[in-house]
Amino acid sequence: MKSAIIFFLLYVPNCLPIDSGRYLDKNEVTNKEYFWFVLDSKSDLKVQLYPAQEFKDVYGVEFKDITPDNPLMQMPVVGVSMANCLAFCKWRTEKVKTKFPDLNIAFSLPTADDYKLANNQRIKSHKTPEIFGYKNRNIARNTKCFVGLDDNVAELLQDGTVQPGSVSQVGFRCVAVAQ
């Protein structure tokens, strides 16, 4: 367990501990993170992994048409199906296990209790108005606070329900469990 804590403090700066052995992403999964997941997937599956029409409705562009240098890459991915969120979590778990084979870490969607824990101990986030309430999504990676827990996109939970946000668009974040 101690090695898992050291791992997260050193190598996954985007997660914060919420309970013993549980770490929640500071912010929602971004378009950039999801882009790399899609890019790394088998070519015959890529189209199935693209976010739904909701993505285009929000951002004004198809997911398949954005490039890594697009400023939208720092925004939360929206319109991803439950199955694809779970596939992303599995992919992320495999990437971590490839890099750190001695660690028993698994990513999944958070539970409502994970959000309660995070809300009870979080440091208030710094935000500036813009799309989804954040001008610069990178702030989450450079601070020790959660961003957008309850004042951003709604987020998918492990049981298929949605954690309410301040807008109706649905994104997701991951929880990592050290086993």
pLDDT in tens, 34-92: 999 999 998 888 889 999 999 999 999 999 999 989 999 988 999 999 999 999 999 99
Residue 142 has pLDDT above 80, yes or no: no
pTM to 2 decimal places: 0.84
Provide, for the chain, the percentages of residues in helix, strand and coil under a 3-state DSSP scheme, each rounded to the nearest 5. 40, 15, 40
- In this predicted structure, what is the pLDDT of residue 7? 55
d(C-alpha 42, C-alpha 15), whole Å: 28
Query: By CB neighbour count within 10 A (0-12 exposed, 13-18 middle, 19+ buried), where does 97 fall?
Result: middle
Write the single-letter amino acid at 33: E
- In this predicted structure, what is the pLDDT of residue 110? 95
Which residues form the domain of 27? 2-178
d(C-alpha 23, C-alpha 108), whole Å: 11
- In this predicted structure, what is the pLDDT of residue 129? 43
| DSSP label of 100 | -
Residue 131 has pLDDT above 60, yes or no: no
Distance of CA 1 to the CA centre of its chain: 23
d(C-alpha 153, C-alpha 137), whole Å: 13
- In this predicted structure, what is the pLDDT of residue 168? 81
- How crowded is residue 127: how many other Cβ atoms within 10 Å of its Cβ? 17
d(C-alpha 168, C-alpha 156), whole Å: 12
d(C-alpha 53, C-alpha 61), whole Å: 10
* Total tally of structural domains belonging to the chain: 1
What 3-state class would DSSP assign to 89? helix
